[in-house]
Amino acid sequence: MTSGLPHPHPPGAGMKASGPPGKQPLAEPPGPKVRTTRVKMSLLLRCLLLLWLPALQVSADWCYNNATCGPSTWVTLGMCNGTKQSPININSSAAVYNASLGAFSFTGYDNVSSMVSITNNGHSVEVELGEGVSISGGGLPDNYVALQFHFHWGNNVTNPGSEHRLDGMQFPMELHIVHTRKGVNLTTATSDPQGIAVLGFFINVAPVNVDSTGLSNILKNISTTNSKISNPGLHISINTLLSGVDLTQYFRYSGSLTTPNCSESVIWTVFKNPILLPSSLINALPATLLNAQNVPLVNVFRPPQPLNSRQVMTSVKTASTTTGPTSSSSTTKSSSGQDATRLPSLSGLTALTLAVLVSLLFRN
């Protein structure tokens, strides 16, 4: 439908015929200035891609036992290629005594109702803790609130799976109790060099094969990934799990989360004495639980990472230990981490690099 008004530019008006009839005139090639701008834009986009790619890959899937997504591939995820990574092999003879690493104060560790849920998350068994569980002291710079604890294991009692090693020895399992700085959520804590405090406990085989924890009976109900039991009714406290462990003897170093995005925001405390659990429970974890591919959940640990320039401190003073500084601050410095659940923002260094690139590319 037309309005009846003349077209503002009738066909052919103001156009010069060019070339044989029926052929459109050729467009003029872009000038040198346009071509230069396009090249600069292309270079800028490539630089942006290189800067953002590691951050984008933080959300990528990861696993323990597949060559395409196992620990050897994690270097492309988050901070997993950092210089303060965990776990490590703890050389007890090289640990430096630190007088500030005194006794801990444990709140809510004796509460038999603190375990509010237990989940198979496809990578481990995670027990969520309720409110009122926290730690302080022990050379920590603040109070830390407990969120959850989880386990790492191998294939059975004869194929160990602890993440940390003690003088080269790998234990059958390891327990991690994860805390964040008081008043700080986990997302914010991962960008604070002292935002997370993890208590690590080696687990060895008890001489008596009796499971007093009740965990063996629950495992069959969370065999598949993402299965969860709320209010599991374990009626045991964290102290029950830690019975027999000397909580005054431990090692301290600054490190990272041991799973992607491997945020370097963890004050690690690894206790010298192991927890003792029955072989039936240690064997039940890999025999009962399945990952997302319905494959047995076995060997769920990251290998030891280089210590680099870090110093491991100890609360244990022996004839062989060297005396170090009394301030705990020297043992808890680390690079800030990134949040694995969202796209991280550019760090100060990356932003500065980007600004320099833009300046160089578009400088007249």
> Is the Cβ–Cβ distance between 231 and 129 less than 8 Å?
no
- Provide φ and ψ at 42, rounded to 5°: -65, -45
Q: Answer yes or no: is pLDDT of 299 > 70.
A: yes
Q: What is the pLDDT of residue 31?
A: 67
Catalytic residue among 123, 150, 176, 235: 123
Domain span at 310? 82-341
Mean pLDDT computed over every residue of the chain: 81
CB atoms within 10 A of CB 205: 19
CATH assignment of the domain containing 289? 3.10.200.10
What is the domain count for the chain?
A: 1
> Is the Cβ–Cβ distance between 220 and 261 less than 8 Å?
no
Q: What is the pLDDT of residue 338?
A: 31
Length of the chain: 364
CB atoms within 10 A of CB 81: 12
Lowest mean pLDDT of 103-112, 228-237, 270-279, 298-307, name the range: 228-237
**Span 16-30, pLDDT tens digits:** 444 455 555 555 666
Q: How confident is the model at residue 356 (pLDDT cuts 50, 70, 90)?
A: very low
Closest residue by Cα to residue 197 from 149, 154, 152 = 149
Q: How confident is the model at residue 43 (pLDDT cuts 50, 70, 90)?
A: low
Q: How confident is the model at residue 39 (pLDDT cuts 50, 70, 90)?
A: low
**Span 83-100, pLDDT tens digits:** 999 999 999 999 999 999
Q: Answer yes or no: is pLDDT of 247 > 50.
A: yes
Helix axes of 348-361 and 32-56: crossing angle, nearest 10 degrees = 170
Mean pLDDT of 208-228: 90
Establish if 273 belongs to a structural domain.
Answer: yes
With a CB cutoff of 8 Å and minimum separation 6, the contacts of 333 are: 193, 254
Q: What is the pLDDT of residue 29?
A: 61
Q: How confident is the model at residue 325 (pLDDT cuts 50, 70, 90)?
A: low
Establish if 334 belongs to a structural domain.
Answer: yes
Q: How confident is the model at residue 350 (pLDDT cuts 50, 70, 90)?
A: very low
Q: Is 179 a catalytic residue?
A: no
Q: What is the pLDDT of residue 215?
A: 86
Closest residue by Cα to residue 175 from 146, 204, 202, 156 = 202
Find the helix or strand (DSSP H, E) in which 161 lies: none
Please calculate the CA angle 146-147-153 and round it to the nearest 5 degrees: 100
Establish if 65 belongs to a structural domain.
Answer: no
DSSP 8-state class, residue 57: G
Q: Taking the alpha carbons of 301, 303, 308, 309 in that order, is the dihedral positive or negative?
A: positive
Find the helix or strand (DSSP H, E) in which 204 lies: strand 196-205
Backbone φ/ψ region at 245: left (φ over 0), alpha (ψ -120 to 50), beta:
beta
With a CB cutoff of 8 Å and minimum separation 6, the contacts of 291 are: 63, 122, 123, 225, 297
Mean pLDDT of 55-63: 59
Establish if 310 belongs to a structural domain.
Answer: yes
Establish if 215 belongs to a structural domain.
Answer: yes
pTM of the full structure: 0.74
